Chain A
C-alpha cells in the first residue's frame, strides 16, 4: 500500500541511519535485517535506487562488505554483493557510485572464495557493472589480465563464465584487442561454452561476435574447414528453442559472412538464415528489432542475397506486418533499412514497392515521422527505390506526395536527415518526363542553393549533386530559374571548393547547364566569363582525374557552339603568349593514364576542328603549334576504343586543311 510521501521519506532516512549503524556493528543479524530491507526496496525500482544513491547508501554497503569475513559472514557478504549488483543494474549513476565506493576490488576478491554462493553473488554483481558503458575498461594488453579472464572462462560456474563473457563484450573494441583474445585461445573457450546453459550460450555468442566483428584476419584463422564443429554448432543454434539464442547465432554467422562471404556460400546457409530472421520478426520486442537489423546487414551490398531475400517474399512479409500493427520507431527504422537494402540493386524489388500505392505511401508518410532515425531510414529507402531508371522515366516520383515532404526535410533540424533527403532528391530530380518544374515551383531550388553554401562539406556536396541532376536535361525556363537562384559567383566558388568531390559535381552541373539549346552556352560567359575562367583555372591546377574529366567536358560542350565559343575554349586551353615554355594542358590530358580523361580531351578537339567553322583552320594551326596534333598522332592505336575512334575523327578533320608533316 503506498504510503504518503512524508512517510516514505522518513522510512528511507531511517533506513540510511540504520545502515550507517550496521556498517560499524558487529551484529550480523542487525546487518542482515537492514540489508535485506534495503535490497527489497531497490530491486526492480529505479526511482528507489537513485534515491538511495543520492542519500549515500552505497558507501555504507561497501563498507559492510569490506569488513566482512567471507568464511563466517557469508550471508552478509551475499546480501551486500546482491545490493551492489542491484544498484548497478541498468543504472549508470549506480555503477559510478559503486565504483567510487571501491566495490570493484572487493567483488573481484569474492570470485576466489570457496563458498559457491559468495562466488555467484560476486560474479553477478560484476556482470551488472560490466553491462554498463561506464564500467572500467578492461586492459587486454596486460598478460595477467588475459590469464585472469581465461581463468574465469575455465570455471565450472555459469555466473563466472558469464562474467568473463561480459567483460569481453564490454571492453573488446579494437582489432588489436580482438587479435590478443583470439591468439590467447579465447574463441575456442567461448565455443566450448555454447554447449552449456542458455545463459552461457547467449553470453558466449555475444562475446564471440564481439571478437570476430569486422576482423577478417581473426575470422579466417578461426573458421576454416578444420573448424567444422564451430559451424555445426552455430547452425544448430539457429534452430534453438529460444529466440534470443537463434538471433545471436544468426548475428555470428552474419559477421563471418561479412568478412568471408565465400565461406557462407560453401555452407549454403543463406536462405535458411533469411527465413530464421524473418520468423524472429514475430517477436514484438528487442529480439525482433535486432533480427531486422541483422537481416538488413546480411543482405547489404550482396546482390545474390538480396535476390534470395526477394525470392523468400521478404518484401511482402515486411509490408504485411506494417499493415497489421502500428510499429514502434526502432522497428520502423529496421523495416525501412531492410527494404532499402533489398532494393539497392534489384529492379524487381523496386517494382513491387513502386507498383503498390499503399507501399509507397507507407514510405512517404514516414518522411514526417517524429523520430529522426525513422525519417532518415525512410529517405534511404526512397533513395534506393528511386534508382529505378524505368520509373524515373515514367515520372512516378515527381508527385506532390513525394516531393513536398522531401523539400520540408531540407529544413530539418537534424543534419543527418538533411543529408538523407538531399541524396534522395538528387535521384528523384533526374526525372526524365521533364516535370522538374514541380520541384522548382515548390521552393526546392532555393533550399538546395542555400544548402550548397553550408559549412558542412557533406551537405554542400549532396546539395550540389542534387542541383547537377536537376539541371540534367531540364527545360530552358527552369534552367533560367535555377541559374538566377544559384548565380555565377556561387558556382565559381563551388568549382574551387576545398573538397574535390564538390568541385567534380559543380563542374558536372556546369556541363549540364551549357548542354541543350546552343544559347545555354552563354551562362558560362555571364559576368565577364566568370564561370569560363573558373573552369579554365581548375583545369590548369586540379590533379584529380574525376575533376579534370568534368572540367574538360564543360569546354567540350562550349566548343560545340559558335565560333566565339570555340575561340574562348582555345584561349583557356593554350598557354598564354608570355608562357611559351608551358605545355598546353590539353597535351597533359591527352597523355593521361585515365581513358575517360583522354576521351573527353579528344572530343573537345573534335569539336574545335570541325571543318565547317570560319576559324577552323586557324585553330588547327594553333593546335599543331602547341604539339597537340602530333600528340594525337601518337594515339592512333590507343588501347581505349573510344579514344582511338575519336582520334581518328580529329586527325581526319585536321587533315582536311592539309598534312602538316612538311
Chain B
C-alpha cells in the first residue's frame, strides 16, 4: 500500500489536486480586522480512509517574528468515512450546517437528516473537508497562537480554489480562509510526486 501525493492525483477520486495554495485568512480582533497571508501545502492523501494532510504557513503574524507553520490533518467528507456532521471538536450538527451553508456549492445537497450519508459525492465538482491543525512545526506552542479550532473547507475542482471557515467557540466566528493555487512563477501547472513503500 502506498500514498500518492496529491500533486499528481488522488487515484480513487481521479482528481488531480495542486499541492500549493496561497491566499489569506481574515482574522478578527476586538480592535480591527486583519488578513494574514497564508500558504498551504498538501502533502499526503489516503482516499480510502478519507484522509489528507499538509502544512499551513501564516505570514505577517503580529505575535511572531517568523512565519508560523502548522501541520494539519484533514477529513474528506466522502459520506463513507466522514459525513458533514463533525461529531467532535465542540461542533454540533447545528454548527456544522451553519458553516457548510456558507459555501454556495453546499446548497443543492440534502444533508440535514443524516449528515449526507446517503449522498454520492464521487463526481461532485467540489470536495468538502475539515482541516484540524495538530502541532506547530517551527515554533513553540506558547507562541501566542491557537490551534484549538478547525476549518470547514471547500475545494473547487473546477478552478482549484479553496475556501474555508475557521470554527473555535473561543475565537471570533467565521474567520474566512481564501486560497488559490500558486503556479510558483510558471505559466501553467506543474506536478510532483512521491510514493511510499
Binding site for B on A (CB under 8 A): 344-345, 383, 386-387, 389-390, 392-394, 423-424, 426-427, 430, 432-433, 462, 465, 468-469, 472-473, 508, 511-512, 514-518, 553, 556-557, 559-562, 566, 595-596, 599, 603, 606-608, 610, 612-613, 640-643, 645
- In the complex the two chains form, what is the Cα distance from A607 to B190 in whole Å? 9
Please indicate the chain B residues that have their CB under 8 angstroms from the CB of A561 in the complex: 186-188
- In the complex the two chains form, what is the Cα distance from A394 to B72 in whole Å? 11
Contact of B189 with A556 in the complex, beta carbons under 8 Å: yes
Closest A residue by C-beta to B134: A390
Contact of B185 with A433 in the complex, beta carbons under 8 Å: no
Contact of A389 with B193 in the complex, beta carbons under 8 Å: no
Contact of B186 with A596 in the complex, beta carbons under 8 Å: no
Closest B residue by C-beta to A554: B191
CB distance from A470 to the nearest CB of B (A): 9
Contact of A387 with B3 in the complex, beta carbons under 8 Å: yes
Q: Which residue of B11, B158, B194 has the most chain A CB atoms within 10 A of its CB atom?
A: B194
For residues 49 through 97 of chain B, which have their beta carbon under 8 Å from a beta carbon of chain A?
53-55, 71, 73
14 further interface pairs, Cβ-Cβ under 8 Å (given A393-B54, A430-B194, A472-B192): A389-B3, A389-B44, A393-B55, A427-B196, A469-B194, A508-B193, A511-B192, A511-B193, A553-B193, A599-B14, A603-B191, A607-B189, A610-B187, A643-B14
**Interface status of B43 (Cβ within 8 A of chain A):** yes
- In the complex the two chains form, what is the Cα distance from A424 to B197 in whole Å? 8
- In the complex the two chains form, what is the Cα distance from A561 to B71 in whole Å? 30
- In the complex the two chains form, what is the Cα distance from A607 to B90 in whole Å? 44
Contact of B191 with A393 in the complex, beta carbons under 8 Å: no
For residues 1 through 45 of chain B, which have their beta carbon under 8 Å from a beta carbon of chain A?
1-3, 5, 7-9, 11, 13-16, 41, 43-44
With A469-B194, A511-B193, A515-B190 known as contacts, the answer to whether A389 contacts B157 (CB < 8 A) is: no
Contact of A512 with B53 in the complex, beta carbons under 8 Å: no
Contact of B197 with A645 in the complex, beta carbons under 8 Å: no
Closest A residue by C-beta to B53: A389
Please indicate the chain B residues that have their CB under 8 angstroms from the CB of A344 in the complex: 1
Count of residues in B whose CB is under 8 Å from the partner chain: 42
Q: Which 10 A-B residue pairs are closest in the complex by CB-CB distance? A: A560-B188, A607-B188, A389-B44, A515-B192, A560-B186, A472-B194, A560-B190, A557-B190, A469-B194, A512-B192
**Interface status of B135 (Cβ within 8 A of chain A):** yes
**Interface status of B195 (Cβ within 8 A of chain A):** yes
**Interface status of B107 (Cβ within 8 A of chain A):** no
Please indicate the chain B residues that have their CB under 8 angstroms from the CB of A566 in the complex: 187
**Interface status of B101 (Cβ within 8 A of chain A):** no
- In the complex the two chains form, what is the Cα distance from A512 to B55 in whole Å? 19
Partner of B71, one of A394, A423, A559: A394
Closest B residue by C-beta to A383: B197
CB distance from B195 to the nearest CB of A (A): 7
Partner of B192, one of A473, A517, A640: A473
With A433-B137, A556-B189, A613-B187 known as contacts, the answer to whether A390 contacts B73 (CB < 8 A) is: yes
Contact of B14 with A640 in the complex, beta carbons under 8 Å: yes
- In the complex the two chains form, what is the Cα distance from A606 to B183 in whole Å? 13
- In the complex the two chains form, what is the Cα distance from A490 to B112 in whole Å? 58
Contact of A390 with B125 in the complex, beta carbons under 8 Å: no
**Interface status of B170 (Cβ within 8 A of chain A):** no
CB distance from B69 to the nearest CB of A (A): 9
- In the complex the two chains form, what is the Cα distance from A432 to B6 in whole Å? 14
